[in-house]
Chain A
Amino acid sequence: MRDTSGMTGLWRAGGGLLLLPGCSGIQSALDPAGFEAAELARLFWVMLAAGTIIWLLMLALSLHAARRRARPWSPRAAGRLILWGGAVVPTLLLAVLLVYGLVLMPALRAPGGPLLVEVEAEQFWWRVRYHPPGGAPVVSANALRLPRGERVELRLSARDVIHSFWIPNLAGKMDMIPGRTNRLVLEPRKAGLYRGACAEFCGASHALMAFEVEVMEPADFAAFLAREAAPATAAGPGREAFLKHGCGACHSVRGTSARGVIGPDLTHLGGRRGLGAGILENTAAQRAAFIARVGQIKPAARMPDYAMLPRGELEAIAGWLGDLR
């Protein structure tokens, strides 16, 4: 564990003077909530500061040359200026920044802790599988919960096309490539809600492929995982309608006969904040709208529209899905 919070605060304060609004929030690399993101944000501020200083020096030099200096330069002095200002100093500056970046890299890729989470991307959502140490895997989708202060290893892959996994507040991007497993280790340090997104164009609904991230205290996370591992218990007419209309061919709801693996696991859909991979608020009305008009809400998604369902059954399904907590 490395404490960078003091430095981070300093950098953030400096940054805040330059760009007051727009730099904080649930999806901002400039508002780091994890070790990796803090290192990257610091790298950004160092680069920005260095770039600003060089830019100001260049402006001052050109003003000096254009306005102040009446005498011409001697060829010898001009040659020296070009050699030092044009070759030696830029090379040294680049070398310093390169070494700084290279020294950062090993720490950013240190091994993860015992918790391993598999995330598989497909058009246009995220399959999530938690592998707690010594426990059975827990399947979920479109939401990622992480324990604060623990290094978690994410195993990232894709099923159809290239996607990219990015939670700006926690770490840099990592590509998700079919046929390949990429590792990303995160160490969240601030509990809270964040937002991740696909960062590689992957099709018509690429911009609608996001997910919610919640960093929880370790005890809360353990409770969440136990809840998430349990089967669904809610019953009612919505459940009958869900099964009658064949939703279980694509979706799983553990505890029922729905065991489909084509679409997202819905066992605890009601416990997620977002709907449709982080694009809608998870309310009964939005759930009903999504089921009926998914083609409009999420173009090119594989799920067909179910606008033909009787209104009552549609609402019953939407209500029941909300009860799956």
Chain B
Amino acid sequence: MLIHNRRHADLWTLLAPPAIWALHFLLCYVLGSVACAKAGDPFAAIPLPRLGVGLATLLALALILVAGRQARRHWGFGTADPPHDDPTDDDRQRFLGFATLLLCALSFVAVLFVALPALTIADCR
């Protein structure tokens, strides 16, 4: 797994949180549209896809939290102040870590917002 305890930050660790968000988004849409295409009746409840969205959301949030924890380590736990733009390996690591941490926060909120309709809407109307 990309985010599993990487010693150093790189482009992959940076891309992991938005990639999780994108995959979660895709999965939610595929689950919903397949279920509604099969149901035919717009008033038929679709509990299984909603449960699927819920589980996918929990998994995505957990993965983003793990990525965030790692990014915080790469950042150096905030011991130095941004903008981390010295031409050194350490500062490059801090920059990548900090950018990843911000992306984690964004992805976390985005995953929640994508999943919210599954909470309030119970059928295909």
Question: Is A159 at the interface (CB under 8 A from chain B)?
Answer: no
Describe B's contact surface by its main secondary structure: helix
Describe A's contact surface by its main secondary structure: helix
Contacts A98-B116, A111-B43 given; indicate if A106 touches B122 (C-beta within 8 A). yes
Contacts of A87 on B, CB cut-off 8 Å?
A: 105
Which A residue sits closest to B105, measured CB to CB?
Answer: A87
By Cβ-Cβ distance, the 8 closest A-B pairs, closest first, are A109-B125, A102-B120, A103-B120, A91-B109, A102-B117, A102-B116, A105-B121, A98-B116
Question: Is A95 at the interface (CB under 8 A from chain B)?
Answer: yes
26 A-B pairs whose Cβ atoms sit less than 8 Å apart in the complex: A75-B81, A87-B105, A91-B109, A94-B113, A95-B112, A95-B113, A98-B113, A98-B116, A99-B116, A99-B120, A102-B116, A102-B117, A102-B119, A102-B120, A102-B121, A103-B120, A105-B120, A105-B121, A105-B125, A106-B120, A106-B121, A106-B122, A106-B125, A109-B125, A111-B43, A183-B42
With the chains together, A54 CA to B122 CA distance in Å? 33
Determine how close the nearest CB of chain B comes to the CB of A179; give it in whole angstroms. 16
With the chains together, A35 CA to B105 CA distance in Å? 39
Contacts of A111 on B, CB cut-off 8 Å?
A: 43
Determine how close the nearest CB of chain A comes to the CB of B112; give it in whole angstroms. 8
Determine how close the nearest CB of chain A comes to the CB of B5; give it in whole angstroms. 27
Interface flags, A101-124, vs B, CB<8A=1, else 0: 011011001010000000000000
With the chains together, A105 CA to B119 CA distance in Å? 12
| Residues of A59-97 whose CB lies within 8 A of B | 75, 87, 91, 94-95
Contacts of A183 on B, CB cut-off 8 Å?
A: 42
| Residues of B67-125 whose CB lies within 8 A of A | 81, 105, 109, 112-113, 116-117, 119-122, 125
With the chains together, A102 CA to B118 CA distance in Å? 10
Contacts of A109 on B, CB cut-off 8 Å?
A: 125
With the chains together, A109 CA to B43 CA distance in Å? 10
Contacts of B117 on A, CB cut-off 8 Å?
A: 102
With the chains together, A99 CA to B120 CA distance in Å? 8
Which A residue sits closest to B102, measured CB to CB?
Answer: A87
Identify 16 new A-B residue pairs, CB closer than 8 A, beyond the known A95-B116, A105-B120, A111-B43: A75-B81, A87-B105, A91-B109, A95-B112, A98-B113, A99-B116, A99-B120, A102-B119, A102-B120, A105-B121, A105-B125, A106-B120, A106-B121, A106-B122, A109-B125, A183-B42
Which A residue sits closest to B117, measured CB to CB?
Answer: A102
With the chains together, A98 CA to B117 CA distance in Å? 9
With the chains together, A75 CA to B112 CA distance in Å? 31
Which A residue sits closest to B118, measured CB to CB?
Answer: A102
With the chains together, A99 CA to B119 CA distance in Å? 10
Contacts of B119 on A, CB cut-off 8 Å?
A: 102
Contacts of B109 on A, CB cut-off 8 Å?
A: 91
Contacts of B121 on A, CB cut-off 8 Å?
A: 102, 105-106
Interface flags, A38-70, vs B, CB<8A=1, else 0: 000000000000000000000000000000000
